[in-house]
Structure 1
Amino acid sequence: MRIGIVCPYSWDVPGGVQFHIRDLAQHLTALGHEVSVLAPAEEGTPLPPYVVPAGRAVPVPYNGSVARLNFGFLSAARVRRWVHEGAFDVLHIHEPATPSLSLLACWAAQGPIVATFHTSNPRSRAMIAAYPILQPALEKISARIAVGEYARRTLVEHLGGDAVVIPNGVDVGFFADAEPKAEWQGRDGGNTVGFIGRIDEPRKGLPVLMRALPRILAERPGTRLLVAGRGDEEEAVAGLPRELRDRVEFLGMVSDEDKARLLRSVDLYIAPNTGGESFGIILVEAMSAGAPVLASDLDAFAQVLDGGEAGELYANEDAGALAAAAVRLLGDPRRRAELRERGGRHVRRFDWSTVGADILSVYETVTDGAASVAPDERAGLRARLGLARD
């Protein structure tokens, strides 16, 4: 199958959507499919052979973060050329409601379109206001996927229609087989706590963790916090007493291999995110690596952690609750072992062997499956997948 995938966000500034698209493209390629990914990228960015650059992106504040998007007449021409030359059996567009390559691809496409919705934003006035503009493009979509129940709810409430929920995928074995790194493990009987995310993006929650840290260190004085991600390190620890700052070790941006090794090394992974999450891929990666997880009780996080069965939850933005839960878990090796075991079982549903097969089923349904089933069964399939009307 010839598959075209459209990434709305800049490839050179990695994020959850880009990682999902990268891993999906690699999974499909390994199965023998021909895959081309169109993505914004700065000139000179090293790109895998399946990525076609569509020019530099412009940073735009969106949903508590900064989205780097590519839009305009030149971009539209590049999209049309890529769609025409690709002659794809199916076009898979991510975040089609975003003013980016994705929306341009919706306008340019002629054949079957599968769209994946990642955003969880229940109060998006911009999306509501833009609906009349988006509607003609969205009506061309053949099937809709949401990465989680809250992304699906955002779609239903703002744009209408429905979607099948297929979560983001993870190569579980990659994280499970990683070797721990001795210098990232606990020292002298102390514990190591991990955080991975953009330091200077408040919704990733590092400030909440920093407010909780003095109490954690007071009750568990041998603890270290390892922070991986880009941002201003001095600003991140500005609120900590000076005598505690050496208990925080900044690793900067890490490779995928080192991210897996970090997650394999820590005694507890903390996800203090404060909002704007539709899934929580880092939680799945942490569980895959065998790290016990403590996360804020965002709806999307609670769903990924099986309502708290596969990882513990604390009240969002409550630094005191975070500290109390972290101290309790760090002092309870038996509970951490239980979370590792439960997380290891739960995470199998997110492996690419399962997620990739589900996505391929959607591709096959929109390309040739609907014509071969009885009318009543076809109606059921279309309703389940959120397909556009005939």
Structure 2
Amino acid sequence: MHVLVVHNRYASAQPSGENKVVDQEVALLRGAGHRVELFERRSDDISAMSLLGKAALPLLVPWNPAVRTELADRLRSERPDVVHIHNVFPLLSPAVLAACADAGVPAVATLHNYTQVCPPGTLQRAGLPCTECVGSGPLPAVRHGCYRSSRLATVPLAVSLSANRRRWWSGVERFFCISAAQRAVLVEAGMPAGRLAVKHNFVPEPGARRTGPGEHLLYLGRLAEAKGVRLLMAAWDRAAADGGVGVPLVIAGTGPLEGEVTAWAAGREDVRYAGLLDTAQCREAVARSVAVVAPSTWLEAFGLVVVEAMAAGVPAVAAGHGAFVELVDDGVSGLLHRPGDADALASALRRITADPVLGREMGQAARRRYEQDFSPAVGLEHLVEGYRAAIAGRAGDGDSPPPAGDGNTGSRRGRPRERDGGS
């Protein structure tokens, strides 16, 4: 196949799981012999813009006509079989959909978050789950200033969502939801169920696997409220007050709470803040873990770090909501804790470290689950299957065949459980 991937890369100053997924899918397709080209913008380039360009940028978030023209011209000249859209904010805009229509090329889109129904895409406000805009409109997000705690910054996203909602729903032949939990939210919001298929992200073989019981518990990710960093610190303090868990906590990453994490970890023997790690260091840190901790307070649409742990034969301790309930088989391949509950998280951390035999068995189960549902071979199969469905749908005048059952073309364990705190 000839695939054109459309993506606005997130700023390089902080790690982006979305950038990682795009890069891994491109490498996977090329390795399988497919021709893959890129149509990209980079958020890093915003800093080099003139003051006038920066001032005009919010006006182009809902619609960038220059992007439409440029992409349409490229599609007409290169004639790819399918366009795969990832992120379009802030430099591309939904104008990429019009370009695909102009050139008559079918489009698929991976939904990495909830921006189709929530302007900031997090389904969270003030650190708590929120679905006020789901199924209605984005005015509540503007009123509350949900993006960057700013009403002004939220306006372009809200306008884009309102103005382009139907364009997205009609202009994309197949949406890839990255979990069944995410799909359930989007269907409830009114998105066309027949175009929504579950395609979990895959993870490459890590090269490093756990060989012993592990040396530490690991938090690896963005240091932000929504990721449960403050919850983890509170749970760790409670566990420490009760005698500790027997192994140190390693926190790796960067983000808005970096200063707070650094101050909290300073002078402690049971906590180490490792800062931002490169890819090889991340894999090594995971492989040396008793468990990876993912205490997110928002409804994660996937949870890449959990699957990266699975690939290394390492269990996870994760919040029991969102996509985690379909990634982690509680008590078998890891542990789930009550979302937002520091005591429940502390209890899970004590349990996972207290029994090395249980930890080993959970790690083995996690690795088996990875091989079954999240390996590169499985990822390639589902990716190409989605492309073929989109091409067939366009050939059939846009009426793409609905996915079987609940739309799950990914994991065979994709039935969502009840969502916690989703309203």
Bin of the TM-score, shorter chain as denominator length: 0.7 to 0.9
Kindly tell me: are residues 90 and 318 of structure 1, through their superposed partners in 2, closer, same or farther at Cα, counting changes over 3 Å? same
Q: What corresponds to 2:202 in structure 1?
A: 169
Q: What corresponds to 1:27 in structure 2?
A: 28
Distance 1:167 1:84 in 2: 31
| Contact 1:107–1:137 (CA under 8 A) maintained in structure 2 | no
1:197 counterpart = 2:215: no
Instruction: Report the 3-state secondary structure (helix = DSSP H, G, I; strand = E; otherwise coil) of the residue aligned with 1:249.
Output: strand
1:312-351 per-position Cα deviation (integer Å, ceiling 9, x unaligned): 0111111111111211221111110111111111111111
Which residue identity lines up with residue 178 of structure 1 in the other structure? A
1:352 counterpart = 2:365: no
Kindly tell me: are residues 383 and 216 of structure 1, through their superposed partners in 2, closer, same or farther at Cα, counting changes over 3 Å? closer
Match of 1:235 among 256, 260, 281: 260
1:27-73 per-position Cα deviation (integer Å, ceiling 9, x unaligned): 0000111112333315689xxxxxxxxx999999xxxxxxxx79634
Which residue identity lines up with residue 333 of structure 1 in the other structure? P
1:118 counterpart = 2:112: yes
1:206-234 per-position Cα deviation (integer Å, ceiling 9, x unaligned): 11111111233342365321111113543
1:108-151 per-position Cα deviation (integer Å, ceiling 9, x unaligned): 10211112222244726288434563213431222222111122
With normalisation by structure 2, the TM-score equals 0.73
| Contact 2:248–2:271 (CA under 8 A) maintained in structure 1 | yes
Kindly tell me: are residues 56 and 314 of structure 1, through their superposed partners in 2, closer, same or farther at Cα, counting changes over 3 Å? farther
Distance 1:308 1:56 in 2: 50
Match of 1:139 among 149, 170, 179: 170
Kindly tell me: are residues 306 and 179 of structure 1, through their superposed partners in 2, closer, same or farther at Cα, counting changes over 3 Å? closer
Distance 1:247 1:56 in 2: 45
Q: What corresponds to 1:72 in structure 2?
A: 64
Q: CA deviation at 1:368?
A: 4.7
1:92 counterpart = 2:115: no
Distance 1:178 1:107 in 2: 44
Which residue identity lines up with residue 79 of structure 1 in the other structure? L
Q: Which runs of 5+ in 1 are unaligned?
A: 46-54, 61-68, 373-377
Distance 2:57 2:302 in 1: 23
With normalisation by structure 1, the TM-score equals 0.78
Q: CA deviation at 1:243?
A: 5.4
Count of aligned pairs between the two proteins: 352
Q: What corresponds to 2:97 in structure 1?
A: 106
Q: What corresponds to 2:208 in structure 1?
A: 178
Q: CA deviation at 1:160?
A: 2.2
| Contact 2:197–2:403 (CA under 8 A) maintained in structure 1 | no
| Contact 1:10–1:39 (CA under 8 A) maintained in structure 2 | no
| Contact 1:263–1:291 (CA under 8 A) maintained in structure 2 | yes
Distance 1:252 1:263 in 2: 15
Cα RMSD (Å) of the superposition? 3.6
| Contact 2:63–2:93 (CA under 8 A) maintained in structure 1 | no
Distance 1:250 1:59 in 2: 36
Kindly tell me: are residues 56 and 150 of structure 1, through their superposed partners in 2, closer, same or farther at Cα, counting changes over 3 Å? farther
Q: What corresponds to 2:402 in structure 1?
A: 382
What percentage of aligned pairs have identical amino acids? 25
Match of 1:366 among 380, 385, 390: 390
Q: What corresponds to 1:65 in structure 2?
A: none
1:156 counterpart = 2:226: no
Distance 1:355 1:339 in 2: 23
